[in-house]
Structure formats: C-alpha cells, structure tokens
Structure 1
Amino acid sequence: MIRNQWYVVLESNEVKAGRPVGVTRLGEKLVFWRRRDGKVVCLKDRCAHLGASLCQGKISPDDRLACPFHAFEYDASGQCQYIPSLGRNGIPPRAMRVDSYLTYEAHGLIWIFWGETEKAVRPPRFFDLDDGFTYAGYRDPWPVHYSRMVENQMDVMHLPHVHYNTIGRGHRVVVDGPLVTLEEDILRMWVYNRLDDGTPPRKPEELPAPNRPPFLEFIFPNIWQNRISDDMRIFVAFVPVDEENGILYLRYYQRIVRLPVLRTLFNWIGVIGSRYIANQDKRVVSRQVPKKTSLRNGEKFVQGDRIILAYRRRREELLRENGQLAD
C-alpha cells in the first residue's frame, strides 16, 4: 500500500455513535469510534499497556475509548488520559499512548490518512456526484490485493470475454488506443473497442482528440468511477484489507428517476445489475497470481494494457517517493 495517501476505508453507516468498531485495513488492526460531536476517530486497535483489543472496550462518559481489560482511557489523539488503578488524580505516563490516524468524512464515506500527519496538506478528492445524484450500494470482500481490483476496472480488453452477455456484448475485441492521461494523480481514460474488421488497432496518436468526458476516472490511491452518462455513474472504492484481501465498495449513482419510491427501486435495480457484472470479474480476478500487482513481476503486456501500465508506473513512483521501494 502507498503511504501518505487518503484511503477510503469505511462507509459512514459502519461507525455508529457509542460503539467502537474494529476492522483490518491497510494490513493493520484499527478501531473506529465517534465522539459526541460526531467526529470519527481512528486508533490502532492495541492497548499500549498489555495489548488488549480496544474495539472490545466502550466509550467513556468523558468521550474517550476505554480498554476492555483494565479500563485505560484513550483520547482522540491516542494519548492515555486516565488509568483507574492510579486513581482519579493520577497522571498516566506520556509513553502510554497508541497511534492514531487523521480521519475525514464526506459523501457517506470515511477516509484515513495513512502516513505522516504533516503530509496531509489537503483533504481527499472526490468525483462530481453531489448535484442531484442518489445511490444504492453494497460491499463485497475479494481475496486479492486491492491493486488487482483497481486494474480490473482499467482493463479494456477483457470486456467482450468476461462480460460477453452484459457490458461486453457485441464482440468488440479490437482495442484502439486506449487513451489515458495522468494529472495530479487522477487517471482519465477513454475506451475505443470495436469489431475485428481485419485492420490493426490504431495507436493513441492516431485517434481523434476526445470530444466527451472520460469514460473512466481513477483518483489515487483507491477510488474510481465509470461515467456511463452525465446522469448515471458507477462508483467503487477499492478498500485495502491486507496484502491478499480487499473489499469492493460499489455504488450505483443516478439522477434520472427522482420520485422517492421509484428512485429507491431504480437504484437497487442498478445495484443488482452492477453486482452481477462485478461477480463476473471476481470469478477471474480472485484466481490471478500473484495476488498483488507490480511493474516487474514477469507479466507480459500488449498495446491494450496502456491504462494498466500507466497505473503501475505511477503507483511505483509513489512507493519510491515514500521510501517503500528501492531505486
């Protein structure tokens, strides 16, 4: 996983007031809870005293997270503020603290900044999905590293084969381009699949300049949207669990149907269709090896892999910039 990035890790409705929630994200055991003012807090899920799991504890009257073992109380910064065995006027050692992560909440999603706090110079970015859009969604664990999940949604060659009876109907197996741009860690992609008429695929420079918004967009490190139309989108957060597992958080957004009851029905029909399509991918991707992608893992590439290569190159650059990859 790339350090010093804002990662979507949960949906807002997974962290309710008054109850800590323990999850594994980015290879770490974390605990989330809400203060009385609604702010989401994220700490490492390990008491600094004897290693108990803090997610089994409770929220104290002083708005702190109390360990289930000896009731040590931690504030939102991870500092222990109260140790019952020392008495109400006792002062906990400064070393009695657990690591905390910055959180950000918007659009019904929770981000954490996985890295050094001082490098969180701006809040996480999102897509233009607020003006009149409503959505329904679901969550699904995948037994692969999140990078495989990301690349699956950038792979333009698999459509007529994996999705032959859904979004890949028409047997458009030849891939012209594709076009891809990278600006401020946003990948924008235009797809040009067509029938095989015997002519070779056109290179990107042979294609006309795009006259419409990108079909696909990806914001590093882990959110993506498919712009089906101006009024219909698919959003996915590829949430890292550990080196071999991720969770797909998918939402079907639309602003075509606006009447409340019909809108809800329409949104859930969209989710059902999206889940069927995603399961077609999951069947194949869950057996890819290695489970984690990299630029140099022995895989061979062709022209249609241009988007995947752009993603891998930038991902490797970010890892190197953070000292996670040797030159």
Structure 2
Amino acid sequence: MIPNQWYAILPSREVKRGALYAVKRVNLDLVLFRDAEGKLGCVVDQCPHRGAALSAGKLAGSHVRCPFHGLEFDTEGNCRRIPANGNASKEDISRYNVKQYPVQELMGIIYLWFGESEKATASVPFFHDQIDNSFSYSEFPDHWNAHYSRCIENQLDVVHVPIVHYNTIGKGNKTLVNGPKVLYENGMLKTSANNEVDTGQTPKKPDDCEIRSLYLGFLFPNIWINHISDKLMVLIYFAPVDEENTILYVRFYCKLTPFRSLNALIAFFGKFANKRIERQDKRVVVTQKPAASTLKSGEKLLTGDGPIIKYRKIRQELKEST
C-alpha cells in the first residue's frame, strides 16, 4: 500500500446508526460505527484490555462497548468507561485508548487515511469536475482474489480490450494499438484507447495520438473513472482488503435525461452491462503472477502498456516519498 493516502474503502450506506460494521481493509481489521449525531468513527477491531473483537460487542449510546469486559470507546478511540472500576472512579484510563483511523465521507463513499494521522489532508480524491449530485447512479460490489494494483492496471489497459472484451466493448477486432497517449496532470493519470483494425499499417506513436472525449482517468491511490460522456460515466474504487484480495465498488452514473427517476432507471440497467464486462476482466486478472505489480517486475511490457508503466512509476515515487 502507498502510505499517507486517503483510500476509498466502503459505501457510506453500509455503516448504519446503532450498529457496528466489521471490515478488513488495507490489511487492518477495523470496526466502523456512528455516534448519536451520526459522526463516523473507525478503530482497530481489538480491545486493548484482553484482545477481544470490539465488533462482537454493541453500541452503548455513542460508544463501542467491548463484549468481554464492557470497556467503552468513542469515535476518536478514547476509552470512556471501564465498568469494573466503577462510575465514581477518577483513574486516568487513557492508556486503554484504542488505535483510531481518520475517516471522511464524500459522495456516499467512506475514505480511510492510511498512514500517520497528523499528515492527513482535508481533501479526499474524487472527480469533482466531472461528477456532482445531479447524477443518478447504481452500484455493486465484487470481490476479486487479486492485489488492488493488478485490478487498477486492468482498467488502464487498452491492449486487452479487443481480446478480453471481444463480444462486448471490444467488438470490431481493433487489435492494433495506437499510442496510447498518457498524461499526468493535477494529480490525475489520463489516457484513452485509439485502437484500429490491423490492415498492415504501422501503429502511431504516443506523441502522435490525442486523449479522446471517451477517456480513462485515475486518482491515486485507488479511484478510477471511465468518462464515456459528460452525462454518462463509470466509476470504480478498488478497496484493498489485504495483499491478495480487493473489493471493486462499481458505479454507473447517468444524467442523460432531465428526469432523475428515469436516469436512475437507466443507471440500474446499466449496472448489469457493467457487471458482464467486469466479470470478463476478473476471469483473467485473478490468474496474474506475481500477485502485486511492481515497477521492476520482470514482465516484458509493450509500447501499448504506457498507461500501466506510468501508473507503476508514480506509485513507486509515492511509496518512496512517504
């Protein structure tokens, strides 16, 4: 994982008031919950007293209550009560505080800060200039037995489209890859497919290509967009579970019509088309070795793998700079 980054990890709707939500993300066992005012909290799913899973407990007002000895913790991880000490106790119980992770919510997505808490930034990665609340969307999750870096690279790969998706988005046998052109501006990696049917012509070099209106965008560490048009987009956030598992949350955004209910219906049915395409990718990506990609992996990459090479370079730079 790249440290000191905001990772999109979960839809906001999954964490409901009055309930604990246990989840594994970025190799951490976590429990998320909301206090009485709806404020989101995220702490390590282990009581510092005797090691029981806090997620096996319950909410006591705004606090997580351990199922074993009743210790209570707030959204900041502070220990607020130890029943065995008695309510009249004046003892300093801060040594029982549990590790807390900063979390934020934006556009129905929960983000987790993975790294040093004091370095957490105010803003989280999202495609603000492309998507706003005027869109309707549908969403579905899918678990892949693959490292999140492999899942991301698949969505930046223009070479595989006519092969893997030969009967869906890759119809037409456009196997010859021009470029592709790759840009990294304002924190976003951007590219687009410019494939053609191979009639014996020489592929164009990346500098001779352009980014088309239908393009792919990526924001580190784990959120991607397929900009089909200004009114139709697919967004995926790749939630890392551990070194071998990722959950893809796939959203289909739509505002093709002036009617929100109709846009929602289009988005609902668009989900099924996206699922078919995504499952074509999954069948292949889960077979890749090694599990995680690296800048120097021993793979013999093609010119058409330019977006993947750029992703790996930036990822490596981010890992080394923190």
| Fold shared per TM-score above 0.5 | yes
AA aligned opposite 1:236:
I
Q: Paired residue for 2:189? A: 187
* Distance in 2, Cα, partners of 1:257 & 1:279: 28
Asked whether the 8 Å contact 1:154–1:307 carries over to 2, the reply is: yes
Superposition pairs for residues 262-281 of structure 1, below 5 Å?
Answer: 262-281=262-281
User: Could you say which residue in structure 2 is the equivalent of 1:237?
Assistant: 237
Is the Cα–Cα contact under 8 Å of residues 125 and 223 in structure 2 kept in the other structure? no
SS at match of 2:191: strand
Mean CA deviation greater in 142-151 or 258-267: 258-267
For 2:303 and 2:252, locate their aligned partners in 1 and report how far apart those are by CA, in whole Å.
Answer: 30
1:120 shift after superposition = 1.6
Q: Structure 2 matches for 1:245-260, cutoff 5 A? A: 245-260=245-260
Distance 2:4 2:195 in 1: 36
Structure 1 245/151 Cα, relative in aligned 2: closer, same or farther at 3 Å?
same
Q: CA deviation at 1:129?
A: 1.1
Partner of residue 129 from structure 1, selected from 116, 131, 135: 131
1:144-165: CA deviation from partner (whole Å, max 9, x where unpaired): 0111110000010000010000
Mapping for residues 139-158 of structure 1, pairs under 5 Å: 139-158=141-160
User: Normalising by structure 1, what TM-score?
Assistant: 0.94
TM norm structure 2: 0.96
Alpha carbons 1:41, 1:103 under 8 Å: kept: yes
Say whether residues 1:39 and 2:39 are aligned partners.
yes
User: Which residue number in structure 2 is paired with residue 79 of structure 1?
Assistant: 78
Moved more, 311-320 or 179-188: 179-188
1:283-307 Cα deviation digits (max 9, x unpaired): 1111111111111221111100000
Q: Is the 8 A contact 1:252 1:270 kept in 2?
A: yes
1:77 match: secondary structure = coil
Compute the displacement of 1:214 (Å).
6.1
In 2, Cα distance between equivalents of 1:69 and 1:232: 50
- Please name the residue that 1:325 is paired with: none
Contact 2:254 / 2:264 at 8 angstroms: preserved in 1? no
Task: Pick which of 293-302 and 140-149 moved more.
Answer: 293-302
Structure 1 residue 125: deviation in Å?
A: 2.4
1: distance between equivalents of 2:44 and 2:92?
19
Shift in Å, 1:142: 0.3
Q: CA deviation at 1:123?
A: 1.3
Residue-pair matches, total? 319
Deviations 1:36-91 (CA, angstroms, capped at 9, x unpaired): 11111100101000111011111113x11111110101112212111000000223
| Aligned position for 2:112 | 112
Structure 2: distance between partners of 1:66 and 1:292? 37
- Cα distance in 1 between the residues matched to 2:177 and 2:88: 71
State the match for 2:309 in structure 1: 309
Q: Which moved more, 1:238-247 or 1:73-82?
A: 73-82
Q: Distance in 1 between matches of 2:274 and 2:26?
A: 26
Q: Once the two structures are aligned, what percentage of the paired residues are identical? A: 42
* 1:257–1:266 contact (8 Å) kept in structure 2: no
1:160 paired residue among 159, 162, 168: 162
Q: Root-mean-square deviation (CA), in Å?
A: 1.4
